[in-house]
Structures are given as C-alpha cells and as structure tokens.
Amino acid sequence: MTDAEATTAAKSGLRFAVDTGGTFTDLIVGHPDGAVTIHKAPTTPSDPAAGVLDALRIAAEAAGEPLEAYLGRAEIMVHGTTHAINAIVTGRTARTAFITTAGHPDTLVFREGGRQEAFNFTVPYPEPFVPKALTFEVEERILRDGSVHTGLDEAQVAALLGALQAKGVEAIAVCFLWSIVNPAHEIAVGRLIERHLPGVPYTLSHRINPSIREYRRAMSTALDASLKPIMGAYMSGLESRLRDAGFAGRLLVVTSQGGVMDAAHTAEAPVHLINSGPSTAPVGARAYTPPEIADTLIVGDTGGTTFDVSLVRGGRIPRTRETWLGRPLSSHMTGMPSVDTKSIGAGGGSIAWVDSGGLLHVGPISAGAVPGPAAYGQGGTRPTVTDASVILGFIDASFFLGGRMHLDREAAVEAVRRDVAEPLGLTVEEAATAIVGLATENMVQAIMGITVNQGIDPTDAAFIAGGGAAGINCVAIGRRLGCHTVLVPETAAVLAAAGALVSDLMAHYQAMFHTDSRSFDMAGVNAVLAELERRCHAFAESTGTDPATVEIDWSTEARYPDQAWEIEVPLRVSRFRTGDDVAALVADFHKTHREVFAVDDPTSAIETVGWNATARCRIGSSEPGRVRDVPSAATLARRPVYFGGTGWSDAAVYRFEALTGDDAVVGPAVVESAFTSIVIDPGYTARRDATGTLVIDMKREAA
C-alpha cells in the first residue's frame, strides 16, 4: 500500500498514537465516531517495540477483538520514541567517521565557549562526540562567497575511504567549511562514498543542517550519521513486527519539531527524532485548551521518569536550536531546531534519598519500569514519589491503572520509613510530604528556567498538567507559580500521545542568506524563499497530501548588528515586495527581542542570517477527540488524604469521566481516572468544562 493509498484508505479506520516513556508506554486510539480511548502498558526498556505491542494488545482486549483484527482496522499509527536519545546517552550509536576540511579537525573538540560555573576549572569538558582517532582531514577549501580556493583531492578521499573500511567504520559524517554556500565538494564526497563503500550510511552537512555555525552544523551531521544504522534497524524492525501482528496502515514517527514524518523518511534523517518524546505535549495542550483561557500556557508533562516543561505563546509553540544532550554547556548540542522543552529527572518513579549530610534529594535517578517503585511489588525497594503518593492517599492502591494493577502500600511505607523518615527523624507521613514537596520545587525551578528567565510572568499564564503523575502536585505547582488557572485535560495522562494524534505531517527547511535592513536585498531573499517554498511543495507531493491541506510557516533568524546570537522571528509574508514588508519584519524583531530578553533597541537596524520554512500537511482531523464515556458514579467512597500543614483530611473522591459541568469539586478532594489522580488541595475548587477539561480555579479559595 502506498502512502497516498494508506492516507485515503478507509476513513472509518482506527488511528493510533503511541508514546514510549521511561516507565509506561501510552496509547491513545481515535475512533471513527470522533471519540478516543486511552490505554497504558509498562515500557520494556530492553525492547521498546514489545511495549508498543503490549499497549495495542490491551486496547484490542478492551475492544473485545483479536489483536490481528483490531490492527487490521487501523488507518495510521503515530509513534513517539526516545530510542534515538537513549542510543546517544548510552553510547550505542554507530562507529562514525568525521571528514572535514584540512586544517580544521577540532570543530567537535572546541565546541562553543561557556561553562556552568565560570571559575570552576575542575569540571572537565566532554569528550568530542566523534573521537580524534576517527576524525579525518581532506584537501579542499571553499570561501564564504562560494568560490573554490582549493579543489577537492578526490584521490585522497578514495584512499581515505579504503582506510575507513579497515577501521570498521559504520557511518560517515561530512562537514566542509562553507558548504552551505557551495556544496559541490560535499556532494562529490557523497558520490565517492557510494562508489567505494556502498551500503555505508553517510550524512552531508549542507543537507541536514545548512546553518552558519560550524560546531552546531558539525554536531548535527555527526549525530545524524551515527544514528542511521540503529534507527534504520529499529524502524524497519518495528514496522515488520507491526505488519506481522496485522497492522496494514501508515506508520508515522513524531519529530523534534512537534510534527510527524513517515517512518522511512525519519530513518533517513534520524537526527530529527532526538527530541521526539516530549515534543508533542504542547501540541496536545494547545489542542485541548480554549484560546480564551490564557495567551501563555505552561505545559508540564510528568511521567514516571522525567518532568518535561514547554510553552504555548499566542497559539505558537516556541522552538530553539540550543538543544543540549545533557547539562547545558557541559554536554553536546544537537544544533537542530526543536520544540523548546526543558527536562529534569523528576517523575513518579524518581527515587528519594538522604545524603551523608542529612539532605533530602528526589531524583534524578528513577526506578523506571523495572523494577519500579517499591509499591509495584516487582523487586523495587527504594522510595519514590509514587510510593509517597500512595502513603498520603493521593493514589488509591487498589485502583492503579483502573484496577489492573494493585499497589503494595505497606512496601511503600517501609521504603519511605527506612530511607527517608528515620534518617531525618520524621514520621512516615511527614517524610512522604517532604518527598512530594521537594519534587514539586524541582519542577517549579524547571518552569522558572523556561518562563521567568525568558521574560514570561507565570502569574499571567495557565498551567496545563499532563502525564500520568501530573495530578499529584499540579495544584501545588500552580500555587507556587501564582498561575490563575490549572487545567487537566481529560487526555492528560497521555498528553504527548494526544498531541501526536492531531499533529501534522511536517518537514523543516532552512537556508542561509545574510542581509541588513538598511540595505535589504529583497531579490536575494525572495530567491531563497522561493527555493524553500519549492522544497515544501515537493515534500507535500511526496506524501500524497491534498494541496488544500498544505500550509507553510515562515520565519527568519535575525539579530542586532554585531550581536552574537540570533532569535527566530515569524514572517508575515512569504515574499518581500515593498519597504513596508521590511519595516514590519524589523518591528516584529524588536517586539520578539523584548519578549525574550525584556529589552530592545527600536532605533537599531537588524541583520537576518537564516530563513526557515516549515511545511505542515493535515492528514487527519485537527479537532481533539473526547474520551469515550465509561459508565460510573461521579462520587466514590471518601478516603483519608494527608496534606502538609493540615494533616489527615476526610476527602471526597470523584470519577473524572463521570463529572459534569454542574458538579463543583471543593478541596480537599481527589479526582480519579483509570490513569491519573488529581489532588485538589483544601480551599481550591474545580469544575469540568464543556471540552472535558478539569479547570481548577487558583484565584478563588473556598472559605
């Protein structure tokens, strides 16, 4: 079945979106009637595809169908994966050679300047992503105007390729100076690789990341090449196993830009998958939040292993090129545009521990899916946020995953007592409260880094709580930030998967072209934009998408003269025709600069360095589906819940899916679904709106 046939196949088919997390694999199923259903299965770290099939099997059982028949009704499957970033972090990428211009072998060694602690010289710099032993120089040199200073020595390249084979090289990255202006030499090396090393994957820098900054371009090239063997095998293996299980639809993969691409295309450019996991959480938040709620949405996605925070501003999801593979300035940068997210090791499975000085820590180490928290009863003995939440009554031990999994409260009590309460001289309840409170503070600090540090006032924003563990402390986070509203969508437990289900097919194209607003080269810029538009339409045609559903988002990377770094500014037009168009760009730059840095210089000219076009192709409904109703009583049995400062309270318990707009939830209370528990602290009120979202009012406290 071709891509076009799969897309236009039975519109009555099912639509799957799967997000593989560190602890659980989330699945959301879109049904022909517009409803969605949610399912979860434990992630299998040693074999992520097995977790995907387990989640699908659970969904099939819930539908009362054999897995093969159930998958046979599928139209598409969208897969968000951490496989690429995990391969990088664990060092399981391919043995990669780096070929560069003679005289410039240290691009990956020098990186970009900066330290977390400016005067702490005991912190070592990371080793280059490709070791010096696999870095090779070839004679060639192109100047910044595209002219050839030194021709490519093809005989030298051919001899080098023969040597690479003897060294066991599995992939090749090629990055020459100024190839973004004239790529002739990189293209020639690509042809030589195909001739002398057929079957060895390679990446050319001008194709994957035509940006002006040498280190970032070199890093993204090396990352892409190193991921091609492992991601190609993973994608083909996943698709094969799905086909064997009965899936006959179209397999799509979530990209770092918050869109989706065909699995075959992502295997050819796997660097786009590095931030695949958390990139669609803000897409889901935007889809499930009415625009009148707030102009700025703070999106928190709390899973079992990490807490990911992102933003939606004025309906747009901010992107960044400064995506680090670890601690900023102390790790490697991808150099590729991606949804601007910040991740910390703070989730339901984050382990609590007390150091030798008597200081409590929560995370970043996680119990993960195996062995999991102590309460899982699967061999875990160390206390986690989930264990603390069970102790405090936030989570019903008999209703975890809708009752499919029973938690061991006594094991949780013993773990917290032994590792936290006794070392700190606290009761078990006080220790559990301290664990949740510290996890909350860690999350708040992560949010501060992406909001206050960028000139955003959280008191003007709404906090969107996503992820299976989101509801445990969403009110505490909202209170600490001063947000006026906290929202928990009915798909919050699978927010990233929900975002993937409504994401567009997307491809990002960029080109470098420098000009100045004082002497704006309109013809040159328009030529660049025309070429980017051609590439966008070529992509759309290759996907078999109806041209009426194709949209292009335009932006430029601009800066003040002599400024070191650029910022991304959306374009109002796809071509510059008059001076008014240029003036509008300058005004938008000043406005964006003030939003990001809280200062601007309206009297200054601006420079534009790069130009971007993102093709978005609608492949399904952009309307978020409502969760299919599960018959149940709105009010459940009350239970004791422990809150710091007030102690044990007799809290009302509600079923999320059974609440109506007429039901007012007054804290202390817990709102439960099969996949999350939302704790409403004493003095706060909540109500379910017409979209199914639980809206918690942080302004008005009940008497």
Residue extents of the structural domains in the chain: 3-88+232-273, 95-217, 505-617, 626-701
Q: Which CATH class is domain 505-617?
A: alpha beta
| Fold entry, domain 95-217 | Rossmann fold (3.40.50)
SS3 486: strand
Question: Which residues 6+ apart lie within 8 Å of 549 measured at CB?
Answer: 617, 618, 619
Confidence of residue 595 (pLDDT cuts 50, 70, 90): confident
Residue 472 CA to residue 208 CA, distance in Å, equals 41
Q: Which two structure tokens, joined as six digits, stand for 495? A: 């927010």
Confidence check: pLDDT of 93 > 80: yes
Confidence check: pLDDT of 347 > 90: no
Q: Which two structure tokens, joined as six digits, stand for 480? A: 């600490």
Confidence of residue 584 (pLDDT cuts 50, 70, 90): very high
Lowest mean pLDDT: which of 97-101, 212-216, 592-596, 696-700?
Answer: 696-700
Work out whether strand 135-138 and strand 664-666 pair parallel, antiparallel, or are unpaired.
unpaired
Q: Residue 657: what pLDDT?
A: 84
Residue 627 CA to residue 489 CA, distance in Å, equals 10
Same fold? 3-88+232-273, 95-217: no
CA distances from 616 to 233, 259, 269, 536, 619 (A): 27, 8, 18, 9, 9
Residue 523, judged by CB atoms within 10 A of its CB (0-12, 13-18, 19+), counts as exposed
Work out whether strand 74-80 and strand 250-254 pair parallel, antiparallel, or are unpaired.
parallel
Least Cα distance to 675 among 493, 491, 488 occurs for: 493
Confidence of residue 627 (pLDDT cuts 50, 70, 90): confident
SS3 516: strand
**Does residue 124 have a cis peptide bond before it, meaning omega lies within 30 degrees of 0?**
no
Question: Which residues 6+ apart lie within 8 Å of 336 measured at CB?
Answer: 209, 220, 256, 271, 272, 274, 321, 323
Confidence check: pLDDT of 299 > 60: yes
Q: Residue 431: what pLDDT?
A: 96
- State CA 284 to chain mean position distance: 12
Confidence of residue 22 (pLDDT cuts 50, 70, 90): confident
pTM: 0.87
Least Cα distance to 76 among 676, 601, 543, 560 occurs for: 543
Confidence of residue 703 (pLDDT cuts 50, 70, 90): very low
Q: Would you tell me the crossing angle of helices 184-196 and 154-166 to the nearest 10 degrees?
A: 50
Q: Residue 702: what pLDDT?
A: 43
What homologous superfamily is domain 3-88+232-273 in, according to CATH? Answer: ATPase, nucleotide binding domain (3.30.420.40)
Confidence check: pLDDT of 1 > 50: no
Q: Residue 701: what pLDDT?
A: 55
Lowest mean pLDDT: which of 263-277, 498-512, 532-546, 619-633?
Answer: 619-633
Work out whether strand 550-559 and strand 567-570 pair parallel, antiparallel, or are unpaired.
antiparallel
Confidence check: pLDDT of 12 > 70: no
CA distances from 428 to 407, 410, 418, 422, 434 (A): 17, 11, 9, 8, 10
Confidence of residue 342 (pLDDT cuts 50, 70, 90): confident
Confidence of residue 549 (pLDDT cuts 50, 70, 90): confident
- State CA 694 to chain mean position distance: 24
Confidence of residue 211 (pLDDT cuts 50, 70, 90): confident
Averaged pLDDT, 601-623: 88
Confidence check: pLDDT of 187 > 90: yes
More confident of the two residues 105 and 329: 105
Confidence check: pLDDT of 700 > 60: no
Confidence check: pLDDT of 634 > 70: no
Q: Residue 8: what pLDDT?
A: 42
Confidence check: pLDDT of 324 > 90: no
Confidence of residue 329 (pLDDT cuts 50, 70, 90): confident
pLDDT tens-place string over residues 413-472: 999 999 999 999 999 999 999 999 999 999 999 999 888 877 788 999 999 999 888 899
Neighbours of 319 (CB within 10 A): 21
Residue 252 CA to residue 264 CA, distance in Å, equals 9
Averaged pLDDT, 311-318: 88
Confidence check: pLDDT of 5 > 50: no
pLDDT tens-place string over residues 60-79: 999 999 999 999 999 999 99
Amino acid at 211: S
% of the chain with per-residue pLDDT over 90: 57
User: In whole numbers, what is the pLDDT of the chain averaged over residues?
Assistant: 89
Torsion angles phi and psi, residue 447, rounded to 5: -65, -40
Confidence of residue 7 (pLDDT cuts 50, 70, 90): very low
Neighbours of 91 (CB within 10 A): 6
Q: Residue 600: what pLDDT?
A: 93
Helix (H) or strand (E) holding 582: helix 579-597
Q: What's the DSSP call for residue 647?
A: E
